[in-house]
Structure 1
Amino acid sequence: MSRNNKTNAASLLGVAIVAAALTAFAGLSQAQDAKPADAGQAPAKSWQSGIKRTDLVRHDLDVEGREVIQVLVDFDPGVTSPKHSHPGAEVAYVVSGTFEYQLEGQPNVTLKAGESLYIPAGTAHVAKNVGKDKASELATYIVKKDTPLLKIEQ
């Protein structure tokens, strides 16, 4: 075997090893992504695709620089919102399903359809659909105008 053939063979072998390793790694990562978090349960759905917001009302208030915003928020089963806050107070009314709310500095609270919760301005919180079906809440915000409604917390 000539020197060039040995070099080419070594290069091809190196490329084949790297390709095999990358293929194995990709297969492993896909298998891990598909594995349920708990035995017998489907993988948790991402909040980006598992939460649907429908804007209902946005109106100026009689109070300078404030507005009311009302949104219907639908959560797929098992979906959890990111930890977030709002630039004003929120009243969350559960229209259907069951939610667990985690407000910073307070014990968790579970609410069913027909129950509501007051969330003070700037309070970081998380909402999770803990039921087996879609859950919906009616979120009413009294907030500062011209301020982003949602701030994702770390």
Structure 2
Amino acid sequence: MINRRSVLRTGGVAAAGALGAAALASTADAATATHTSHHHHQGDPDPTGGVTRTLLQEHPSPAKGWNAVQTLVEIPRRKESGRHSHPGVEVGYIVRGDVVMEFDDRPSLRLRTGDPFFIPSGAIHNARNVGKVTTMMLSTYVVDETQPLVTTY
């Protein structure tokens, strides 16, 4: 049984690390990643500090070998999730806040409270809080159960 209130994180990067076979990859390199977008907050020694991903639920998907995982991601003001990808799709909703979702392979998206979003499998992205409050995002993933939920870059 998963404690839905447990906050699971590794280092300064949000991480849902206790997901059984979908355990997270190491996030140690996230803070020292050499690639930064032109929007990166220069001079912030810990751009992902305080970011959390709370595991709400995890269930086997009807598709064999896949899991459905739901999390609540919180990103403090002027912080970001860090560049990462997932081994499946992410379907999300901005519960509160204002973010720019940056992608390596497509234009950025500005998302505000009430906006839905979809991130394709394997797409490298970074959610950057550009608002005045801690952003809260509800994210549901359908992911390969043999892979880490999050791979950081």
* TM-score, shorter chain, exceeding 0.5: yes
What residue is the counterpart of 1:105 in the other structure?
Answer: 105
Residue of structure 1 equivalent to 2:123: 123
Deviation, structure 1 residue 45: 7.0
TM-score, normalised on structure 1? 0.68
- Rounded to whole Å, the distance in 2 between the matches of 1:105 and 1:117 is 16
Deviation digits for residues 53-72 of structure 1, max 9, x if unmatched? 11001000111101100000
Greater RCO structure (CA 8 Å; 6+ sep):
2
Paired residues of 1:70 and 1:138 also in contact (CA < 8 A): yes
Q: What does 1:52-131 correspond to in 2, within 5 Å?
A: 52-131=52-131
Segments of 5+ residues of structure 2 without an aligned counterpart are 1-40
User: Which consecutive segments of 4 or more residues in structure 1 shift more than 2 A?
Assistant: 43-49
Computing the radius of gyration over CA atoms, which structure comes out larger, 1 or 2?
A: 1
1:143 matched to which residue of 2? 143
Alpha-carbon contact 1:86-1:151 (below 8 Å) kept: yes
The answer on whether the counterparts of 1:100 and 1:110 sit within 8 Å (CA) in structure 2 is: yes
For 2:47 and 2:62, how far apart are their aligned partners in 1? 35
Structure 2 CA distance, aligned partners of 1:63 and 1:140? 15
- TM-score, with length taken from structure 2: 0.69
Give the conservation status (yes or no) of the 8 Å contact 1:94–1:115.
yes
Give the match's secondary structure for 2:70: strand
Residue 47 of structure 1 and its aligned partner are, at CA, apart by 4.5
Paired amino acid for 2:96: S
Change in Cα spacing, 1:45 to 1:96, as seen in structure 2 (3 Å) is farther
Instruction: Write the letter of the residue equivalent to 1:141.
Output: Y
Q: Residues 114-147 of structure 1, C-alpha deviation per residue, up to 9 Å, x if partnerless?
A: 1011100001001011011111101110000131
**Identity within the alignment, %:** 34
